[in-house]
């Protein structure tokens, strides 16, 4: 609590635990190898965060934020631009890609998916959108929460935000 900048990044660790806990708690199908990889990620990120080291913020990959809607931790994928430098004054474009509907999509399946490829000069974000609700209801608002999370950590050009998607994600 005495390091709020690190506290804001705690969801980046918690998401892996949540992704494994939910299938066990709610009797969902759980791929054991994916669960083990998620738990390995917790065990790697937690000590780094405690030490104040957060390499995933410049490397990209699975990220998360705490939703103001219900306090839950929600995942997203982030590809950091290849030319990103934290000290640069550059404002970056953000491309947001919303996935289509998938009734088998869970936090664990989502974070076990393939991360988007890094672009040379802009961020690429794939929000989870809360299960398979096709970016509706709370999932619709998640997009705005992902953007707010990004704005706290990176210089985002609000005039260059691109929204696209596939299938029901395209309807976003």
Kindly report the three-state secondary structure assignment for every residue of the chain. CCCHHHHCCCHHHHHHHHHHHHHHHCCCCCCHHHHHHHHHHHHHHHHHHHCCCCCHHHHCEEEEEECCCCCCEEEEEEECCCCCCCCCCCCEEEEEEECCCCCCCCHHHHHCCCCCCCCCCEEEEEECCCCCCCCCCHHHHHHHHHHHHHHHHCCEEEEEEEEEECHHHCCC
pLDDT at residue number 134? 64
Model confidence pLDDT, tens digit, residues 49-96: 999 999 999 999 999 999 998 999 999 999 999 999 999 999 999 999
Below-50 pLDDT ranges, the chain? none
Q: What does the chain come to in residues? A: 172
3-state DSSP assignment of residue 128 = coil
Q: What is the CA radius of gyration of the chain?
A: 16
Pairwise CA distance, residues 35 & 58, whole Å: 24
The pTM score is 0.93
pLDDT at residue number 132? 67
């Amino acid at each position: 609590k005495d390091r709020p900048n690190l506290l804001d990044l705690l969801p980046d660790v918690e998401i892996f635990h949540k992704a494994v806990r939910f299938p066990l708690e709610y009797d969902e199908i759980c791929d054991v190898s994916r669960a083990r990889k998620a738990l390995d990620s917790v065990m790697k990120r937690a000590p780094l965060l405690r030490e104040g080291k957060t390499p995933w913020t410049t490397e990209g990959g699975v990220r998360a934020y705490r939703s103001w809607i219900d306090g839950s931790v929600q995942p997203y994928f982030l590809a950091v631009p290849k030319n990103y430098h934290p000290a640069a004054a550059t404002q970056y474009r953000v491309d947001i890609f919303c996935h289509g509907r998938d009734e088998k999509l869970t936090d664990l399946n989502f974070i076990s998916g393939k991360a988007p490829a890094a672009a040379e000069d802009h961020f690429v974000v794939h929000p989870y959108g809360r299960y398979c609700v096709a970016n509706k209801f709370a999932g619709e608002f998640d997009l705005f929460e992902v953007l707010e999370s990004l704005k706290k950590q990176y210089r985002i050009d609000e005039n260059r935000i691109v929204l696209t998607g596939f299938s029901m994600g395209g309807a976003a």
